[in-house]
Amino acid sequence: MSDDPVLIFSMTKNKKAKKPWPTKDAMAQIYEKNLWGGEESEYYSGLGSHHPEVVNPYIAAVSAFLKDFETPPVVCDLGCGDFNIGKELVKYSKKYIALDIVPGLIAYNKKAFQADNLEFHALDITTDELPSGDCAILRQVLQHLSNAEIKSVVEKLYNYKYVILTEHLPEEDFEPNKDIISGQGIRLKKQSGVKLLASPFNLKVKEEKQILSVKSPGFKGVLETTLYQIN
Ligand SMILES: C[S@@+](CC[C@H](N)C(=O)[O-])C[C@H]1O[C@@H](n2cnc3c(N)ncnc32)[C@H](O)[C@@H]1O
């Protein structure tokens, strides 16, 4: 029997069929079992959310973008995780709405991080209606989702003026958007990564600008952050 957290196996005669867990259960189990690291019983979203060489330049680049607005923007953080990063961006927004699929994590964040302009909500960005805002942040979230789930998120991105997307990608040339089962893993193991402008997502944008690319000791590949102007 596999102990892979994102898969259950059902035996039909001699055939082994892989059935994905619902994404909500898979993500909750990742936090419960600390599969992205961290101390037992703490919510920890992984090295990509904590390594200073990755986190500091990201916060600098995104803060600079948010500070540039004449009126601070309403920001929707889609898949906010343990909020080690989001907490640094709240002060540059008129309202910061942080969403995640794991209810226990959201309940924890509500107690741990408080500000007048900050809201947390437990919801599934693939199936639920998303709050409106000026700018959506998607940081290392889509990389964990299947192509079908990414497609349903992409349709909703047209409601925002800007999207700031961060994805973990291979360093060399690669075939984008190979499909995976939603869960702990990402496309890097298939020498692939998420590119929203490519098929099958074909996101239509007015402008695309890479604002950060970081390679850090401790993991393969690069963390690329792209700013899209959608409307
Ligand atoms: C690797 S963590 C990144 C967290 C945070 N964005 C950061 O960069 O620190 C991915 C997060 O996406 C959340 N997530 C995955 N699928 C989701 C979905 N369908 N709806 C909302 N959140 C989701 C997970 O629960 C997890 O907290």
pLDDT of 218 > 80? The answer is no
Q: Which DSSP string do the residues of 209-220 spell out, in sequence order?
A: EEEEEE--TTSS
Q: What CATH number did the domain enclosing 153 receive? A: 3.40.50.150
53 phi, psi to nearest 5 deg: -65, -20
Mean pLDDT, range 106-116, rounded to an integer: 98
State in Å: Cα 142 to ligand 1 middle.
8
Indicate whether residue 225 lines ligand 1 (CB < 6 A).
no
Indicate whether residue 165 lines ligand 1 (CB < 6 A).
no
Mean pLDDT, range 189-214, rounded to an integer: 98
Indicate whether residue 27 lines ligand 1 (CB < 6 A).
yes
Give the chain's mean pLDDT. Answer: 92
Mean pLDDT, range 191-207, rounded to an integer: 98
Residue 69 covered by a domain: yes
Domain that holds residue 136: 51-229
pLDDT of 191 > 60? The answer is yes
pLDDT of residue 219: 78
Residue 89 covered by a domain: yes
pLDDT of 13 > 50? The answer is no
Cα–chain center distance at 172: 22
Mutate to test the pocket of ligand 1, among 47, 100, 157 (most ligand atoms within 8 A of CB): 100
Indicate whether residue 130 lines ligand 1 (CB < 6 A).
no
State in Å: Cα 81 to ligand 1 middle.
5
Q: How many residues does the chain have?
A: 231
Residue 183 covered by a domain: yes
Mean pLDDT, range 59-76, rounded to an integer: 98
Q: Give the list of residues 6+ apart from residue 28 with CB closer than 8 angstroms, or none.
A: 102, 103, 104
- CA nearest neighbour of 141 among 203, 51, 49: 49
pLDDT of residue 217: 61
Alpha helices (runs of H) in the chain, residue ranges in sequence order? 23-32, 52-67, 103-112, 147-157
Give nearest CA residue, ligand 1 atom 7.
49
Indicate whether residue 46 lines ligand 1 (CB < 6 A).
yes
pLDDT of residue 16: 56
Residue 14 covered by a domain: no
At 65, the pLDDT band (50, 70, 90 cuts) reads very high
Residue 81 covered by a domain: yes
Helix (H, G, I), strand (E, B) or coil at 15: strand
**Rounded Cα gap, residues 98 and 86, in angstroms:** 8
Across 15-19, 98-102, 110-114, least confident range: 15-19
Residue 143 covered by a domain: yes
pLDDT of 2 > 50? The answer is no
Number of domains in the chain: 1
pLDDT > 70: percent of the chain: 91
pLDDT of 4 > 80? The answer is no
The pTM score is 0.93
**Rounded Cα gap, residues 183 and 24, in angstroms:** 9
Sheet containing 74-78: order of strands = 118-122, 95-100, 74-78, 135-139, 162-169, 222-229, 207-214
Mutate to test the pocket of ligand 1, among 47, 101, 130, 143 (most ligand atoms within 8 A of CB): 101
Give nearest CA residue, ligand 1 atom 26.
81
pLDDT of 3 > 70? The answer is no
pLDDT of 66 > 80? The answer is yes
Residue 12 covered by a domain: no
pLDDT of residue 1: 35
**Rounded Cα gap, residues 58 and 84, in angstroms:** 12
Residue 17 covered by a domain: no
